[in-house]
Structure 1
Amino acid sequence: MWYVYVIRSLAFPEQEYVGATADIRQRLKDHNAGRSVHTPKFMPWMLVWYCAFPDKHRALAFETYLKSHSGRAFSRKRLLGPG
């Protein structure tokens, strides 16, 4: 299985990050250890949403969508709710 996830900074709650991985627990540990190029300055992170996909290609396609303008709006309205 592959996972698409949204994490939110505990120190800066307005900061969110969307990613995809085959190992969601390890990936969250990596974000919180500063081993991701885009997330270390907003540590620590908490997982706020994730979804499992049967294969990598579908997960990466949905990750790409969630990172788009319309995908961010969809995420705020349908997945994460008011913040």
Structure 2
Amino acid sequence: RTSRWAERGLIAHQNPATQGLFGIVQGAGFEDLRRQSAHDLVGMDFPGYSIGGLSVGESKAEMNRVLDFTTPMLPENKPRY
């Protein structure tokens, strides 16, 4: 559902000159789910990407673990946060 919602938002986003629409990579702490989410979103070619579901109460070690395997899945030439 998250990927379908992202696709709908991207289609509805008609004026990229005035704002950017970021795809939000989801999947909690599961690498396979994050990989699928990143794959789907990168295929839609968003102007930038967010790594969602972090800094919401998990430990710093868990946050860094997720960032370590998720960040390389995203294009380096676009904003990532």
TM exceeding 0.5? no
More helix per residue: 2
Determine which structure has more spread, i.e. the larger CA radius of gyration. 2
TM-score, scaled relative to structure 2? 0.28
TM-score, scaled relative to structure 1? 0.28
